[in-house]
Amino acid sequence: MVSAPVQVAPPVQAPARVRRLPRWAGPVAGVVAVVALYIAFRGKAVLPHDDDAALFHWLNDARDWVDANRNSSPIFLYVVNYVRLGVSEIYTAIQAALVALGWPGLIGLAAGLGWLAGGWRIGLVSLAGFAGVGVLGFWEASVDTLALTLAAVVLSLLFGIPLGIWAGRSPRVRRIVTPVLDVMQIMPTFSYLSPIVLLFLIGPASATIATMIYAMPPAIRITALAIQRVPGVVVEASESLGATRWQTLRKVRLPLALNTIMLGVNQTIAAALSMVPLVALIAAPGLGVDLLRALARVNVGAALVPGVAIVLIAIVLDRMTRSAAQRREGGTRARIVRWGGFAVLTGAGLALTPVLAQEFPEQWQVQIIRPINDVVSWIEANWYTFTGFLNDTVAYGLLNPLQDVLTSAPWWLVTLSVLAFAWRVSGPGPAVVAAACLGGVAALGLWQHGMETLTIVLVASVITIAVGLLLGVAAARWRWFAAGLRPLLDAAQTMPSFSYLLPAVALFGNGRFTAIMASFIYAVPVVARLVEDGLRTVPATVMEAAKSAGSTNRQLLWKVQLPMARGSLLLAANQGIVMTLAMVVIGALVGAGALGYDVVAGIAQQEDYGKGLAAGVALVLLGVMLDRITQGANGRRSPHKKRNS
Amino acid sequence: MKKLRLIAGVLILGLSTAACGGAKVEDDSAAAPSASAAGSAGASAAGTVKIAINGWVGYEANAAVVSYLLEHELGYKVEKVTLAEEPSWQGMESGDIDVILENWGHEDLKKKYIEEKKVAVEAGPTGNKGVIGWYVPEWMVQKYPDITDWKNLNKYADLFKTSESDGKGQLLDGDPSFVTNDEALVKNLKLDYKVVYAGSEAALIKAAKQASDQKKPLLMYFYEPQWLFNQVKLVKINLPEWTEGCDSDPKKVACDYPPYDLDKIVSKKFADTGGKAYELIKNFQWTNDDQNAVADDMTNNGMSAEDAAKKWVEANPAKWQAWMPK
């Protein structure tokens, strides 16, 4: 039920044509039945939103209890508050250490580490990347962001790697851990901010914990995978030589798995960096604060520049850890060169720290906020009719009718349809889970808002997947197109999701369509990339065979490539939908309403706390539901943003 | 492996030092990182003040001037923490916030954090008079003179329809965290409207400017003091008059917003140990015009908060010198 059995993509078969009729008769009958039931029962058994639901009050009371007992209940005195203090200390220590290095010291250290990991190339990338952050004028905030990221990554690895080793050794643990990780990664990041704030209050400690929850799954998953992959022969050899289990783990398994584990570290860092801006909502310092403030002022330039700073940090950390993951052979000489270079670069940086100014020199900073804003206001002034038209077309043509249908249909009809559809696409197990999740949303008293969120997600996913498919197909066909597209996709993938809201707001005003556009930009790179990869994996021999049989290009695409890449396409759809959900929720910050708004309001307004908490749970349920429906995708790996190198 | 061990060591060390401090949530290690960060100009000698920054420019104007004086006249370091209103109060409990510089009422929070938890105290009025209400652009009043009475709003609901308002009239609200009774008002006054959240003050301002320039209908939540009233003519809708206690139950509100005397809130710890910084903040008082002047410079004249504050401070020495601790 949990992990879908590996299905082999059905080979293209011509004889299937004979059974065509019964194949589509089922779905058509189903659709007809649903439409008939909808017409018959329209407006009955709907669950209109009620702000006064008993559950919300109960959750508010629970919150009040926690607030009143924070300094007296033993759970808080001896567990929760210590966790908070400990995490806070870690963050403070890392932040203080980074600041104490001074900006030349930190840049030097980065360059040194880059050199150590991957020679002069990576050293240069690190040097340029960190210096670039300073040039953009966001040095101090970037150091805070870096400290927060590192704190979260250290904690994630501290818990994630042992857990991963354990899961890698024991299939039973793996069976328990996998679904939990699934949920952790599907959960829209927004949804767990309120419970964390309840337990750990606001501030860097809760921010670190929130980031950690998001960043830990790749560490666990990839470590487990790495340990599993260690060849059994080697382990047996070690054991037969009399090594204890601990020795085998330390001297055999871990060293052999190390390179893969480094990739896990790489993914963990990427995940942490994409979460870190968001936690500014709960008083975390760093670049997220600048992003939030820009959002509040509708200042596009001021939102893009910190976004670019995060991209720079992400690139540096990514290249560094990725080249560290490549095994490097070499004798003593090579080692001396590596460590020597590291020492020289770091030393040079540190030596400059007392000499140069405390703060990153202002004359070195480049002001690019204003030119960006000039461009934006020009677009705003001149494209107004076009963007307004686009907004209204999507709102009146797609969003409103779909929302009408979903909110006026009886809840059991929607649930049944989901059950049937998921059954058809992904099988009975996922279908039951999906339907149960939807039932859960109803039980939480958030049916109507859930349906509103679902409406936005569906429309956004359709647009995202359609465009992603086009881009992917084009990239798979023309090399030059792929080459031009790749850097754009890379950048779009590392930009914090926050930064996308503002250009969308500037163009389309506040509302659901803005959230759709932002999630489109956020999710389309992953979809395009997965489609392209899927199409490229179709064996050349098959293509040749089809060509020599006289297929046209179009036939080749529709009859050979797309069917054979079915697995990748489903994975692309799955990823696209889950990412869209995450972003649509953040769209509540710019007026997209629905569940996302409930969560935001829950953080910001006392009496809405219970509703916000419930909405967070409802979002998780929606996420799991959407994931299960599209789970026909087999062999899902870490569903987090994938960088296929 | 060595790295792992190192990390574990650091962690254990960190946890054990934390453990000695006790496990209540008041944070005593205040400003440890920032103090060490602030070698510049020897400014850190007097200590650090953590000011919450709520999401409207009037508030930022208060914060700009107070921070400027703290930094340049008293030698403090100021840490600005961008945060919504209610979480700022929570920050007083967790030790992340020392000062809220423009508080709008929030009687429930005062009861919770000042009376019950005793982690915050009032630090006197800011001198600003606050008004919250519903506004329409002036041209609408000229065209539909009776629109300013709430009883006629349903008659005009069609004018305010948008793609986001479910076929009802749209009442545009700001940031979800702002003080608002609007959803309850719409329900209890039986208005055929839907509250739509623009997300921020700036989005409201943009909508107001567009509505005025392009003669588009707009009904929106807004407030004074705000510099926008000097640029765009907006007319307030008359809601049922406010009387003492008519808004005590947030779900049953059916009357206008009360007049607000905006005030300052500081954490108990800061009141006890804040010294001169606390004195200055307690004495800080100015007018709506003062605030609007600074906010206008920050928003429309392209000045940074610090430059705008500097300009005001240089132009009004008598005012701020009266706030200085003796």
Degrees, nearest 5: CA angle A76-A81-A85: 175
Give B-chain residues touching A299 at CB under 8 angstroms: 202
Which residues, including other chains, have CB under 8 Å from residue B12's CB and lie 6 or more apart?
A: none
Best mutation site among B1, B11, B51 for testing chain A: the one with the most A CBs within 10 Å?
A: B11
Confidence band, pLDDT 50/70/90 cuts, at residue B137: very high
Q: What are A536's two structure tokens?
A: 């490229």
Cβ of A297 within 8 Å of Cβ of B202? The answer is yes
Domains and CATH numbers, chain B: 45-128+262-321 (3.40.190.10), 130-260 (3.40.190.100)
A376 domain-assigned: no
Nearest CA to CA, how far is B203 from chain A (Å)?
7
pLDDT band at residue B134 under the 50/70/90 scheme:
very high
* The pLDDT value given to residue A60: 82
Residues A269 and A222: beta-carbon distance below 8 Å:
no
Return the amino acid letter for A419: L
**Sole residue written with tokens 């003593």:** A332
Residues with Cβ within 8 Å of A364's Cβ and at least 6 positions away in sequence, in order, are A134, A135
pLDDT average, residue stretch B28-42:
36
A103 close to B (CB below 8 A): no
Residue A45 placed within a domain: no
pLDDT band per the 50, 70, 90 thresholds, residue B31: very low
Contact (CB<8Å) B84/A607: no
In chain A, what residues touch B7 (CB-CB under 8 Å)? 154, 157-158
Of B1, B227, B263, which Cα lies nearest the Cα of B120? B263
Interface test with A, best of B2, B10, B96 (most A CBs within 10 A): B96
Determine the residue of chain A that is closest to B299 in CA distance: A297
| The two three-digit tokens of residue B311, written as one number | 């300009």
The answer to the question of residue A197 being in a domain is no
Residue A207 located in a structural domain: no
Write down the pLDDT at residue A246: 84
Is A555 part of any domain?
Answer: yes
Instruction: Report yes or no on A212 lying in a domain.
Output: no
The band of B26, judged by pLDDT with boundaries at 50, 70 and 90, is low
Residues in B touching A99 (Cβ below 8 Å): 33, 36-37
* A80 C-beta neighbours (distance < 10 Å), count: 19
- Nearest-CA neighbor of A387 among A527, A511, A525, A523? A511
Residue of B nearest to A292 (CA): B82
Give the DSSP H or E segment for B100.
strand B99-103
pLDDT surpasses 60 at B35: no
Report the Cα A385 to chain-centroid distance in Å.
34
Chain A nearest CA to B280, separation (Å): 25
| Burial (Cβ within 10 Å: 0-12, 13-18, ≥19) of residue B244 | exposed
Say how many Å lie between the first and final Cα of chain A, rounded.
Answer: 31
Helices (H), A537-565: 540-548, 553-555, 562-564
> Residue A136: its pLDDT value, please?
83
CB contact under 8 A, B4 and A396: no
Total domains, chain A: 1
Residue carrying structure tokens 């190339």:
A121
Check if A597 contacts B (Cβ < 8 Å): yes
Count Cβ atoms within 10 A of the Cβ of residue B66 and give its class: 0-12 exposed, 13-18 middle, 19 or more buried.
Answer: buried
- Residue partners of A526: CB distance under 8 A and separation at least 6: A468, A493, A572, A575, A576, A579, A641, A642
Residue of A81, A85, A94, A611 to mutate for B, most B C-beta atoms under 10 A: A85
Q: Is the pLDDT of residue B129 over 70?
A: yes
Low-confidence stretches of chain A (pLDDT < 50) are 1-16, 634-645
**pTM score:** 0.80
CB atoms B25 and A70 under 8 Å: yes
Residues in chain B within 8 Å Cβ distance of A53: none
pLDDT in tens, B228-241: 888 888 999 999 98
For residues A579 and A575, give the distance between their C-alpha atoms in angstroms, rounded to a whole number.
Answer: 6
The average pLDDT across B302-317 equals 89
Query: Looking at residue A418, which CATH number applies to its domain?
Result: 1.10.3720.10
**Within-domain flag for A54:** no
Rounded to the nearest integer, the mean pLDDT of chain A is 81
- Domain extent at residue A409: 385-645
Chain B residues lying within 8 Å of A298, measured CB to CB: 200, 202-203, 206
pLDDT in tens, B251-304: 888 899 999 999 999 999 999 888 888 999 999 999 988 999 998 888 888 788
Among chain A residues, the shortest Cα distance to B94 is held by A201
3-state secondary structure of B124: strand
Q: How far is CA A292 from the centre of its chain?
A: 19
- Return the percent helix, strand and coil in chain B, to nearest 5: 50, 20, 30
pLDDT tens digits for range B196-213? 888 888 888 888 988 888
Confidence of residue B25 (pLDDT cuts 50, 70, 90): low
Where residue B28 falls among pLDDT bands split at 50, 70, 90?
A: very low
Which pLDDT score, from 0 to 100, does residue A4 have? 44
Chain A closest CA to B24's CA: distance in Å? 5
Residue to substitute from A510, A512, A513, A609, interface B, most B β-carbons within 10 A = A510
Q: For residue A482, tell me if it sits in a domain.
A: yes
